[in-house]
Amino acid sequence: MEIRVQNLCKAYGGAPVLRGVSFAAGPGVTCVMAPSGAGKTTLLRILLGLETADSGTISGAEGCRWAAVFQEDRLLEHLDAMGNLRFVLGTEPDRAAALLEELGLGDAGGKAVREFSGGMKRRLALARALLAPSDALALDEPFTGLDGENRARAMACVLRASAEKPVLLVTHESSDADGLGAEIVRL
């Protein structure tokens, strides 16, 4: 699968946010990099179908099932880690348990997500996206708040997923792009 974005434009109240953005993303990691406020999240929201571009085209994403990590974790705070993952996995607890262990969350036990640290919540949000049935991943700053060891674990999981599908990763950390061997799109 290859997703092609051609001459995408978006403005809010007459103020341009995206101007003529063009790139292609196939299997592997494509990092969208720009300073804060330059339209990275808007681009992902358009790809996910949550917003509409003013002009330009997106091809190759027709019927695409996306999984996403948003800037906000959007977790069910009263449930534990497995409870949050059950919504995307159904009855595959072994797969979920293995990924939680890999992401350093294997010892989270039955603790409610509201008791998790920010980094733990971020890794759980990433686990949910990685486990959801999808054709492509949209990850908006998925490594925010992670220390070096947990960042490396999370990056390894993303890299493995990118072997089979396009992964669009929004970041302003060049070390993320370097560590993932990503193609870079600068806005």
Query: Considering the chain, what percentage of its residues have pLDDT values greater than 70?
Result: 98
Domains recognised in the chain with CATH numbers: 3-186 (3.40.50.300)
H helices of 56-147, in order, are 81-89, 93-102, 118-131
58 class by beta-carbon count within 10 Å (0-12 exposed, 13-18 middle, 19+ buried): middle
In the DSSP assignment, the letter for residue 124 is: H
Q: How far is residue 145's CA from residue 126's CA, in Å, rounded to a whole number?
A: 13
Cβ 27 vs Cβ 161: under 8 Å: no
pLDDT range class, residue 23, cuts 50, 70, 90? very high
Model pTM score: 0.92
The residue behind tokens 């059950």 is: 86
pLDDT digits (tens, 9 = 90+) for 170-182: 988 889 999 999 9
What mean pLDDT comes out for the span 71-78? Answer: 92
pLDDT beyond 70 at 44: yes
Angle between helices 118-131 and 93-102 (to 10 degrees): 140
What mean pLDDT comes out for the span 45-60? Answer: 96
Q: How far is residue 155's CA from residue 177's CA, in Å, rounded to a whole number?
A: 10
pLDDT digits (tens, 9 = 90+) for 102-138: 999 988 878 999 999 999 999 999 999 999 999 999 9
Average pLDDT, the chain: 92
pLDDT value of position 91: 58
